[in-house]
Amino acid sequence: MIPVDAPGRVEVIAGGGESTVRLEGAWTLTHFATIEPQVQALRAALPERLRLDLDAVSRIDTAGAGLLGVLLGPARLRALLDAQPDLAPERRALLDTVGCAIHDIFAYSPPPYDGFGFVRLLQKTGEAVDAIWCQTRALLGFIGLVLETLARTLLQPRRWRIASLVVQLEQTTLDALPIVSLLSLMVGAVIAFLGATVLNAYGASVFTVDLVSFAFLREFGAVLAAILLAGRTASAFTAQIGAMKANEEIDAIRTLGLDPIEVLVLPRVLALMLGLPMLTFVAMLAGIFGGALVCVLAIGIPPAMFLSLMHTDTPLSYFWVGMSKAPVFAFLIAIIGCLEGFKVTGSAESVGERTTSSVVQAIFMVILIDALAALFFMEMGW
């Protein structure tokens, strides 16, 4: 008689036309370290035709069932279980479920290290290109879904979520005013300092006014505000929607017969498209004010002269060029932030990964669109 708590063991008994795999003792987690070397030693030497003898097994848990799945493989284990009609139902269910499902986890062995050769470089390049293509396709599809939902609800005022829009407008725009203003003012001062340093060598320090006004009206006003919102708001959108996805709140919204795009995405997209032009205008004013302070205090240009030069040398079209980019930036930032939130799989690690991804993608898209817009406006002569 084998004791109930005796460590499990396995042996292959040859006889006649088929061999028997005989299990004995307790196949439990307590004896895992004793059983696992036996299983690994017998795996490669098992004959094709087998029968399974479990009569001497005193106890078995999920660890033992997993080891048996590793020893026999999921297909052979299921076939041998079917050949044993007298097996207890609970033991059959354990072996069939755990032993077959956990096979891949126990039997996994890391791929051999193949160095960093040319083939590996091509593989990584292909994986990166495929990931970029999949992300681009998902982004375009999500843009189409949001535009379709917007068109469907635009003519139905009763479905507008004004309260949610106002809340998002406060969080994305009003709360961002201090940081956008302060950063733009400091950048404007830095640009004026650099411009004055370079232009003073040619006796043309007065053109620092044109440098500051051109830079902030055309480029820096919209870009600085958009980059700040990409880091501040896109990450917030991803974290909020990702947390709801992890807590199954989005499934609850669908269960109530509501559209998550309409409830969660549209208010955020519209709030950012309304708020970023306002922040861009504030950033332009703050940047020009920072440049004006440097011109007045460091170069000696009077405020009246600064305003006069700016009015004379700066076309109004520069202002509209900068403002026209703000809604485009806002739309892309909001779309990317919401899309990455919907990609969260349910863990805290996934929320962190998607939040990081949304910030990186949003900043990259802002700079890319700004570069393309600069080339377009330059070719158009605007």
SS3 per-residue string spanning 4-31: CCCECEEEEEEECCEEEEEEEEEECHHH
How far is it, in rounded angstroms, from Cα 212 to Cα 204?
14
Checking if the pLDDT of 32 tops 80, the result is yes
Task: Write down the pLDDT at residue 178.
Answer: 92
State the pTM of this model: 0.68
Span 9-107 CATH architecture: 2-Layer Sandwich (3.30)
Helices 118-154 and 316-342 meet at what angle, rounded to 10?
A: 100
How far is it, in rounded angstroms, from Cα 62 to Cα 101?
11
pLDDT band at 56 (very low <50, low <70, confident <90, very high): confident
Task: Write down the pLDDT at residue 2.
Answer: 56
How do beta strands 50-60 and 18-27 pair? parallel
Checking if the pLDDT of 109 tops 60, the result is no
Task: Write down the pLDDT at residue 360.
Answer: 92
Q: Which residue has the tokens 């307790």?
A: 26
**Tens digit of pLDDT for each residue in 207-221?**
888 889 999 998 899
Query: Highest mean pLDDT range out of 56-65, 109-118, 160-169?
Result: 160-169
Comparison of pLDDT for 111 and 264, the residue scoring more: 264
Phi, psi of 103 (to 5 degrees): -55, -45
How far is it, in rounded angstroms, from Cα 307 to Cα 292?
9
3-state secondary structure of 296: helix
Task: Write down the pLDDT at residue 100.
Answer: 62
Checking if the pLDDT of 170 tops 80, the result is yes
Amino acid sitting at position 263: V
Checking if the pLDDT of 15 tops 80, the result is no
The domain segmentation of the chain, as residue ranges, is 9-107, 143-380
How far is it, in rounded angstroms, from Cα 136 to Cα 364?
13
Mean pLDDT for all residues in the chain: 85
Task: Write down the pLDDT at residue 113.
Answer: 56
How far is it, in rounded angstroms, from Cα 370 to Cα 382?
15
**Tens digit of pLDDT for each residue in 70-107?**
888 777 777 777 787 778 888 888 887 876 666 555 55
Comparison of pLDDT for 100 and 278, the residue scoring more: 278
Task: Write down the pLDDT at residue 104.
Answer: 54
Do the beta carbons of residue 149 and residue 259 sit within 8 Å?
A: yes
Checking if the pLDDT of 306 tops 70, the result is yes
Checking if the pLDDT of 302 tops 80, the result is yes
Task: Write down the pLDDT at residue 203.
Answer: 81
pLDDT band at 206 (very low <50, low <70, confident <90, very high): confident
Residue 356 in tokens: 């990081």
Mean pLDDT over 318-324 rounds to 91
Q: Which residues face 289 on adjacent strands?
A: none
Ranking 160-169, 318-327, 339-348 by mean pLDDT, the lowest is: 339-348
Checking if the pLDDT of 370 tops 70, the result is yes
| Torsion angle in degrees (nearest 10) through CA of 355, 360, 362, 365 | -160
Mean pLDDT over 298-325 rounds to 88
